[in-house]
Chains A and B, each alone.
Chain A
Amino acid sequence: MKFVKFLLLGIVFGIVMAKSEAISWFRIQEMFRFQAFHMYGIIGTAVTLGVLGVALIKKFKIRDFHGNPISFYPKERSVIRYLLGGTIFGLGWALSGACPGPMVVNIGYGFLTMTIVFLFAIIGTFLYGLIKEKLPH
Chain B
Amino acid sequence: MLELITQTWSWWFSGAMIAGIMFFLLYFGQSFGFSSNLRTICAAAGLGKKTKFFDFKWRAQIWNLVFLVGAIIGGFIAKQFLSSGAPVPISGETISDLAKLGIAAPTSLQPDELFSLDALLSVKGFLVLSLGGLMVGFGSRYAGGCTSGHAISGLSDLQIPSLISVIGFFIGGLIMTFFILPLIF
> Interface residues, chain A, CB within 8 Å of chain B?
3, 5-33, 35-51, 53-54, 57, 64-66, 68, 70, 72, 74-79, 81-101, 103-111, 113-114, 116-130, 132, 135
Assembly CA distance A68 to B91 (angstroms):
46
Known contacts: A6-B64, A88-B139. The answer to whether A12 contacts B72 by CB under 8 A is no
Kindly provide the distance from the CB of B47 to the nearest chain A CB, expressed in whole angstroms: 6
In the complex, chain A residues whose CB is within 8 Å of the CB of B76: 14, 108-110
Known contacts: A46-B152, A91-B176, A97-B110. The answer to whether A125 contacts B74 by CB under 8 A is no
- Contact among B78, B130, B157 with A120 in the assembled complex (CB-CB below 8 Å): B130
Contact B38 A100 (CB under 8 A): yes
Report the nearest A residue to B50, measured CB to CB: A130
For B15, B64, B130, which residue has the most chain A Cβ atoms within 10 angstroms? B15
In the complex, chain B residues whose CB is within 8 Å of the CB of A23: 75, 109
Contact B137 A128 (CB under 8 A): yes
Contact A127 B144 (CB under 8 A): no
- Contact among A10, A14, A43, A119 with B15 in the assembled complex (CB-CB below 8 Å): A43
In the complex, chain B residues whose CB is within 8 Å of the CB of A7: 66-67, 69-70, 73
- Contact among A33, A87, A95, A122 with B94 in the assembled complex (CB-CB below 8 Å): A33
Contact B138 A46 (CB under 8 A): no
Report the nearest B residue to A137, measured CB to CB: B142
Contact B144 A82 (CB under 8 A): yes
> B115-139: contact bitstring with A at CB < 8 Å (1 yes, 0 no)?
1110110000010111111111111
For A50, A54, A81, A94, which residue has the most chain B Cβ atoms within 10 angstroms? A50
For B29, B41, B130, B156, which residue has the most chain A Cβ atoms within 10 angstroms? B156
Contact B53 A132 (CB under 8 A): yes
B16 within 8 A of A: yes
Interface size in chain B (residues, C-beta < 8 A)? 120
In the complex, chain B residues whose CB is within 8 Å of the CB of A27: 88, 90
Assembly CA distance A93 to B73 (angstroms):
22
Kindly provide the distance from the CB of B65 to the nearest chain A CB, expressed in whole angstroms: 9
Kindly provide the distance from the CB of A11 to the nearest chain B CB, expressed in whole angstroms: 4
Kindly provide the distance from the CB of B158 to the nearest chain A CB, expressed in whole angstroms: 7
- Contact among A84, A94, A114 with B176 in the assembled complex (CB-CB below 8 Å): A94
Please give 15 more A-B residue pairs, beta carbons under 8 A apart, in addition to A26-B94, A41-B11, A78-B161.
A5-B28, A9-B67, A16-B14, A18-B109, A26-B88, A32-B176, A38-B11, A81-B143, A87-B139, A90-B172, A92-B131, A99-B140, A126-B54, A128-B53, A130-B53
- Contact among A11, A16, A49 with B9 in the assembled complex (CB-CB below 8 Å): A16
Contact A82 B29 (CB under 8 A): no
